Amino acid sequence: MLLSLATDSQAARLLLPSAHNLLFYKFKTDARQVSIVALTDHTQTKGEIANRLQPFKTFLSTNCILGERMTGEKRTALITGSGRNIGRAIALALAKDGFNIVVNGSQDRDACYKVAGEAQRFGAEVLVAMGDVGVPENAKQIADDAIDKFGGVDVLVNNAAIRPSGGFLDMSIEEWNRVIDVDFSSAVWLARACLPNMVARNWGRIINFGGMNAMQGYASRPHVTVAKHAAWGLTKTLAREFGPNGITANIISPGPIAGERDDPAMAAHIESQKSKIPLGRLGKPEEIAATISLLVSAGGAFINGQLIQVNGGADT
């Protein structure tokens, strides 16, 4: 029995044009529809052939290109705050996984375009959508630009955040609201913009971010703590409401992660956290990205409504 693979029967006949005894077994994976094409002899029944093909079906179900829909059209991932560090690592990981990528940043255009170039080297089609997600009109425009170019957003990663320090009694209402808008409300605005297309396609992934210190409670960043707990509540709500539509929502809570820091004090604080981590080192942005690759894959399809700690075993 000779096997070949194709996305449809017509393509299969191009692969095996002279064969008269072709049997086509179509099945759907999380990523696309695939035909297993069998060139058979007359001694095998269809049932016998189907049994022999089962291992191939199992393999393809878990190994087909992650970033493709059933039609073979690529899926699209929007990652906010993806000009560096964790966001950049996520963008590149999903580009490798076969997704179209929407890179976002609010200030450093050059950094975002550099990430876009890196993602394109993995074969991704990339849109750079600059804008401050903490402003509702900007957040909507970013989503609209992605939808206009790619037809929809299939994976939304709400990574953008700010973490200014300040005492609870000392900060102004404006300072409080600014953090809530960037760290929490942006996830609401973007989810509302992206969900209609996810619902229409009966598939979507929404990934929010907490943070080990924020989930424990920052003494000097109460607004960040409140925003991240609100994001956790949003995640649980979305998971329950949209799970029946094939959409999962999860939140990742990273521990101390190595990366570029504008604030030397914050960089020193992150470095000091190594002593609290049983693995004895800081996490890598790529390790957070790998977690997201799992969540958007067929292997992560049953993970929904969860807070996922990626912190090297630190106490939480």
Digit-coded pLDDT (tens) for 55-101: 655 554 444 456 766 555 799 999 999 999 999 999 999 999 999 99
C-alpha separations of 19 from 14, 27, 47, 51 in Å: 10, 22, 20, 22
In the chain, % of residues over pLDDT 70: 77
The Cα 179–Cα 133 span in angstroms is: 11
| 276 burial via Cβ count (<10 Å: 0-12, 13-18, 19+) | middle
pLDDT at 293: 98
48 is written with which tokens?
């016998």
46-55, 96-105, 273-282, 290-299: range with lowest mean pLDDT: 46-55
Closest CA to 32 of 1, 2, 11: 11
pTM, two decimals, is 0.79
Task: Determine the average pLDDT of the residues in 6-15.
Answer: 41
CATH 3.40.50.720 assigned to domain 76-310? The reply is yes
Digit-coded pLDDT (tens) for 185-214: 999 999 999 999 999 999 999 999 998 888
Sign of CA dihedral 74, 80, 94, 307: negative
Q: Where are the domains of the chain?
A: 2-63, 76-310
Task: Determine the average pLDDT of the residues in 232-258.
Answer: 97
